[in-house]
Amino acid sequence: MSTTQKFVFFALAATIRLLLIYSEYQKIIADRVEVSTALNSWKKVTEGVYLREAGIDPYTGDLFHESPIGLVVFSYMQKYLSLCMLCGIFVFTDLATAWILGATAYRYTSELIATEQKDIQKRKKESNDEELSTLPSSMSIPASSVTSSALLVPSAYLFNPYVVFNCVGLTTTVFTNFLLSAALYSMINKSRLCSCFTIAVLTLQGLYPITLMVPATIYLARNEEGKNKNFPYGNINKTIAMFIGILIALYYLSYKVSGSWSFLHSTIGFILTVPDLRPNIGLYWYFFTEMFEHFRWLFVASFQINVGLLYVAPLALRFRRDPMLLAFSYLAIAAIFKSYPCLGEVGFYMALLPMWKHLFPHMQQGFIVSCFLLSCTVFAPTVWHLWIYSRSANANFYFGVTLAFAIAQIFLVTDVLFASVKREFSLRHGLSREIHGNTGKLLLE
């Protein structure tokens, strides 16, 4: 793709966002519970900035949930930038995120092809069976995947309706996605400082991104493999110590900015305890609304362990050879099971899917997942209108849509991970999808 084509490509995405931002639909999109939550709403940011300028601690009530560092940045943005420039910042940040994701996809696909070729050569030397040592042409990753992934990933991000709504609604998830893309790019480039810093900033704000330290540590350890004979897996302690040091420094800076530690209750405490039960696309709000109060803390702990701890070690052990896929799985799990999810986070991890398009032939749930996602996207605002405005439905209807949406995402993530396992098995054991020289097909009669 030429530079002119890229410019037109990004200009079209920017135009779509700007037209929607300056249209009558902007307020409708910004008020949607699927787009704006208690953690990312720009209205909450505006109110927090106003309280700070009025000399009132914005963390005293249950109103503001951004970090103190974010509060300072947003204060300067609202003070020195006009509304037009502010909207431009959101659009520019979204475009920058897409560009970084494209660069990440290019680098990752290149490394994936190189690693696979090395593994093939290694198996050819170790195996006496020519059939096991030969990679079927239908399963090899073509060299053209490098350029196509670098194009498809930013396309999937820029023109994903979930991401577009996220930007048009002026949610702070736009900046979170930018930091996530920077973290992934730092991982693939084996930059310890940038990886630790970006993940620490994300952890300060959203807590759950701390799981990205696992794939980041694996990448950095792999980079140092062979340099240190006494510790061939790299200096893991150095990476962890740097991350903890940066995180402590950020918390101390936040304390100096806010003047107290009250922000902890309104940021991390708010995420962990889930006090705000207004509807969103997550699973917490309905469950804890219906629950008896004396069971609340038991199930809060169960839900938080499910999203933050339960899958970290098993997935890390199984997908340690592909840290980027591991990072994708952590991002997807957090977007599904976190306490206050939004569509922008779902759109972000879905935009990464073209990096594994070589796994698509091994996936089985693509059509079902697509239908579920499309149906839920249409039904969610419809059922919301019936519940809140027409009073002809109730909370069960809306929760049914959010539950189906979560199930569709679970099917998607498990399908991708199982496809990776099946392809790895096929490569190791010389299996192919060819029958008598023709590509095998599964037909339903």
Give per-residue pLDDT as tens, 16-44: 999 999 999 999 999 999 999 989 999 99
**Cα-based angle 227, 194, 91 (whole degrees, multiple of 5):** 145
Q: Which residues pair with 435 in a beta bridge?
A: 438
What are the angstrom distances between the C-alpha of 21 and each of 84, 95, 158, 169, 338? 10, 15, 15, 8, 28
Q: What is the mean pLDDT of residues 114-121?
A: 76
Question: What does the pLDDT look like over 257-285, one tens digit per residue?
Answer: 988 898 999 899 999 999 988 999 999 99
**pLDDT attached to residue 225:** 55
Question: What does the pLDDT look like over 306-331, one tens digit per residue?
Answer: 998 899 999 999 998 899 999 999 99
% residues pLDDT > 90 (the chain): 58
Distance CA 220, CA 218 (A): 5
104's tokens: 């990440």
133's tokens: 């040592």
Share the mean pLDDT of the chain.
Answer: 87
Distance CA 172, CA 348 (A): 14
| Statement: residue 299 has pLDDT above 60 | yes
Distance CA 268, CA 203 (A): 9
Q: What is the CA radius of gyration of the chain?
A: 23
Question: What does the pLDDT look like over 53-81, one tens digit per residue?
Answer: 888 888 887 888 899 999 999 999 988 88
Query: Could you give the dihedral angle defined by the CA atoms of residues 18, 19, 21 and 24, in that order, rounded to the nearest 10 degrees?
Result: 170
Residue ranges in 279-352 assigned as alpha helix (H): 284-290, 296-308, 312-318, 323-337, 343-351
| Statement: residue 419 has pLDDT above 80 | yes
Distance CA 65, CA 224 (A): 39
Name every residue whose Cβ is closer than 8 Å to that of residue 60 and which is 6 or more positions away in sequence.
262
